[in-house]
Amino acid sequence: MSAKKGLHLTLKIWRQKNNKSKGQFETYKISDVSTDSSFLEMLDILNENLINEGKEPIAFDHDCREGICGMCSLYINGRAHGPDTGITTCQLHMRMFKDGETIVIEPWRSAAFPVIKDLMVDRSAFDRVMAAGGFISVNTSGNTLDANAIPVPKEDADRAMDAAACIGCGACVATCKNGSAMLFVGAKVSQYALLPQGRVEAKRRVLNMVKAMDEEGFGNCSNTGACEVECPKGISLENIARMNREYMAALIDQG
């Protein structure tokens, strides 16, 4: 029985020394790539080859490699996370590509996500939006009510859990023609707004998070829906609508 033939690929990869330098695409050839390997494993092989040749390896983000952390985010052949759906880059396998194919690999393109180096971007803007209101204040005096003793309708709990599935990878921002972060912020607002524990600070939360989002330079939503299509966790546009309702109610209450 003959061995399974590997892929021979041409990779056009964005190289950029830092956020102040001008980047450019560089072309690399890679051979005998197993169709069973992941996209990041393919990049690992390429980097090993570059190191063996005395060249600088390509910088790219990764951590869990299990579709949980969202750090592996790459723009591949014009799509966030590549040609598959409902997956992160680390879950993308090389069987999605054809032998002899040219693959274009870029970092996220957004003013709010400046390039750190090569394929790595700074997504700390998301952290600052979360710090502005993505939390609840809990009384830890010892007289707190056990969370499990607070009745929550199953439908609300399910929607809150669906919103909380957002991993903050930034695919929504990278895909949106306006660089909008409203799907991300909508998901983070919703996961609290749908639960009684989050209602106490609901108005302050949405006002602060939307303000932080605008200050970070993210664009506005124009309802094209590309963010939902490319989101690896399938976060619904309903969360943007909920955030807008929460925001308007908070503004009216504020007077």
DSSP 100-165: T-EEEEE----TTS-EEETTEE--HHHHHHHHHH-S-----SS-PPPGGGS---HHHHHHHHHHHT
User: In angstroms, rounded to a whole number, what is the distance separating the alpha carbons of residues 175 and 225?
Assistant: 10
- Give alpha helix (H) positions in 14-122: 39-52
Q: What is the predicted pLDDT for the residue at 151?
A: 87
- Tens of pLDDT, residues 50-79: 999 999 999 999 999 999 999 999 999 999
SS3 16: coil
192: enclosing H helix or E strand: helix 182-193
- Tens of pLDDT, residues 145-202: 676 778 899 999 999 999 999 999 999 999 999 999 999 999 999 999 999 989 999 9
- Tens of pLDDT, residues 3-62: 578 999 999 999 999 999 999 999 999 999 999 999 999 999 999 999 999 999 999 999
**Mean pLDDT estimate for the chain:** 94
Alpha carbon 127 to its chain's center: 12
Phi, psi of 126 (to 5 degrees): -65, -40
User: In angstroms, rounded to a whole number, what is the distance separating the alpha carbons of residues 235 and 221?
Assistant: 15
Q: What is the predicted pLDDT for the residue at 5?
A: 81
Pairing of strands 79-80, 115-117: unpaired
Query: Using an 8 Å Cβ cutoff, are 160 and 187 in contact?
Result: no
| Tokens of residue 9, six digits | 């690929």
Q: What is the predicted pLDDT for the residue at 229?
A: 96
Averaged pLDDT, 114-133 = 97
Q: Which conformational region is residue 176 in: left (phi greater than 0), alpha (psi within -120 to 50 degrees), or beta?
A: beta
User: In angstroms, rounded to a whole number, what is the distance separating the alpha carbons of residues 2 and 136?
Assistant: 59
Contacts of 13 (CB under 8 A, 6+ apart): 25, 26, 27, 28, 58, 105, 118, 119
Q: pTM of the prediction?
A: 0.92
Q: What is the predicted pLDDT for the residue at 1?
A: 41
Per-residue confidence band for 144, with pLDDT thresholds at 50, 70 and 90: low
Q: What is the predicted pLDDT for the residue at 150?
A: 82
SS3 211: helix
- Tens of pLDDT, residues 217-243: 999 999 999 999 999 999 999 999 999
Counted residue by residue, the chain has a size of 255
The rounded radius of gyration (Å) of the Cα atoms in the chain is: 21
Q: Which of 205, 214, 211, 212 is nearest to 246 (CA)?
A: 205
